[in-house]
Amino acid sequence: MERQNCLQQLIAQHYPNRPFTLEFAAADADFRRYFRATFDNSDTIICMDAPPDKMSIEPYLKVREVFSAVRVPQLYVIDKQQGFIIMEDLGRATFLQAMQKDTRPEVHKVLLLEAVDTLIDLQKSSQAGVLPEYDEAVLRREINLFPEWYAPKEKNHHFTIEQQKLWQNGLNILMPALLNQPKVFVHRDFIVRNLMLRADRPGVLDFQDALYGSIVYDLLSLTRDAFIEWEEEFVLDIVIRYWEKARAADLPVHQNFDDFYKAYEWAGVQRHFKVIGIFARLKHRDGKDKYATEIPRFIKYLHRTLRRYKELAPLRQVLIEICGKDSEEVTGYSF
């Protein structure tokens, strides 16, 4: 409440003689919260609250400049000392909310293709050396959240020596494939919940963790979402359409679609294990259990993918031993 009072004082200072109401707008998985201030004339602004003892707003500010090729919020007031940013309100409707309101596949396809066009605009602006590398250390740190948090905290199981060997053998196969993929700017959480529905072009939010890495990662994040799921045939269609658009835009995607789809799926293995670990950590360390209900979706994603690629058998074996066998009869795509 103390920070909210400080925020109200900051708004009043920069918008004098303009009465406003302040309401909670959203919260991220970290410590950031967002509030919407509505003035008497119905104008609105969004206020980021990022406690400086918990995090820095510098990454947000840097990436926002880097992501100038897409529609990101304009910034009006930056208070680094207090950890506040007052910015443009890009609206109230996320792509996720629009999809939940209208569940027709044709509507979802239109929105996802808008997201694909936005992603391609972002990737076309990519330059090496601008953002930190999405390197092996980061990839391994992320995927190891699964044995560090999910297995011991959610399943009450610590990896045996044999499971540790299987896990490391699997990572030694997976990592080179991920690191050898063509590189672009990577949002890292390019999901429909972070895209805002607008009349001109989608607004892009929550980009402060961006890195320079695999070209398939954001597409994977978009189409294998935590909060909404589509049939595999539908996802495959979106992936193909991205691949065709990316080739037309001279982005460095694989020339053979089979190779591209394999890279896409292998990137998913890393991300899915990571997300499971993050959601378990949020629940058991941070007391945020609302994400834990989505973990089974990512386990299902992993089962679908790992059964298709014999090279990744060590990871599949660990998944089965920790999470159980796949209960779904899969008739998916294998390349």
Taken in order of first residue, the domains within the chain and their CATH numbers are: 2-88 (3.30.200.20), 95-323 (3.90.1200.10)
CA distance 5 to 15: 15
Per-residue pLDDT of 49-101, as tens digits, reads: 999 998 899 999 999 999 999 999 999 999 999 999 999 999 999 999 999 99
Per-residue pLDDT of 4-59, as tens digits, reads: 899 999 999 999 999 999 999 887 666 889 999 999 999 999 999 999 998 899 99
Per-residue pLDDT of 260-318, as tens digits, reads: 999 999 999 999 999 999 999 999 998 988 899 999 999 999 999 999 999 999 999 99
